[in-house]
Structure 1
């Protein structure tokens, strides 16, 4: 089964920030310097997202997340700008985002995406 792709006419990112998990661990020794080693090669990266959509875009976003992503749970492909430039990344929601209705039929959606360092 193919990984769903984020609807193109629904904006996703308002700015960009990455929060990688620390892939290293440090062990203090009885004598001498502490030992630092890599815990894992592939590590999760959290990306906070905020976007503003109109009513029609919100309906498309909501249908995609609830029906296509099985209630925000499944992985999907989305275009993000980060190290290496603009590229498709496999992401998933870290829980359901906050959805606030603001004036004029607009919605503000705020949440966190998770991607992996090698995808």
Structure 2
């Protein structure tokens, strides 16, 4: 699996958003409370990211996106920030990225990524925090 190029800067804080996908299915009942159950134990998480790149970084990013991860269809590894801190995580693009020219030679690149398995603490680690 490919890694995001080392020269690509870390994601900007502005616009960084973690959106866990719904892992449950809910059935409304004619009477009484709705029934709800877990659909899957492993649902992907969507991540909205933005990179601020200089021209050379953007040039490398475009080529990597096209040639290495096949226009965003292949999984790749990059560091993702969540409650566990910065962890290397399997990601792939949900759709094409967008680019906004911020200044001459400065590009704001935005995308939505799918994270295969967002790292969280284990149930054993969680027990330390519960009464």
TM-score, reference length from structure 1:
0.88
Counterparts in 2 of 1:74-93, with a 5 A limit?
A: 74-93=74-93
Aligned residue in 1 for 2:125: none
Tell me if 1:4 matches 2:30.
no
SS of the aligned residue for 1:18 comes to: strand
Deviation at 1:47, TM superposition (A): 0.6
Deviation at 1:118, TM superposition (A): 5.4
Note the residue ranges of structure 1 that are not aligned, 5 or more in a row.
Answer: none
Distance 2:96 2:118 in 1: 24
Deviation at 1:96, TM superposition (A): 1.0
The number of equivalent residue pairs is 117
Tell me if 1:109 matches 2:115.
no
Deviation digits for residues 49-83 of structure 1 (CA, Å, limit 9, x no counterpart): 11111111111111111110111211100001113
1:28 to 1:102, Cα distance in 2 relative to 1, 3 A: closer
TM-score, reference length from structure 2:
0.81
Q: CA RMSD in A?
A: 1.6
**Equivalent pair of 1:6/1:78 in contact (CA under 8 Å):** yes
**Equivalent pair of 2:93/2:113 in contact (CA under 8 Å):** yes
Aligned residue in 2 for 1:95: 95
Distance 2:10 2:103 in 1: 20
Note the residue ranges of structure 2 that are not aligned, 5 or more in a row.
Answer: 120-131
1:7 to 1:27, Cα distance in 2 relative to 1, 3 A: same
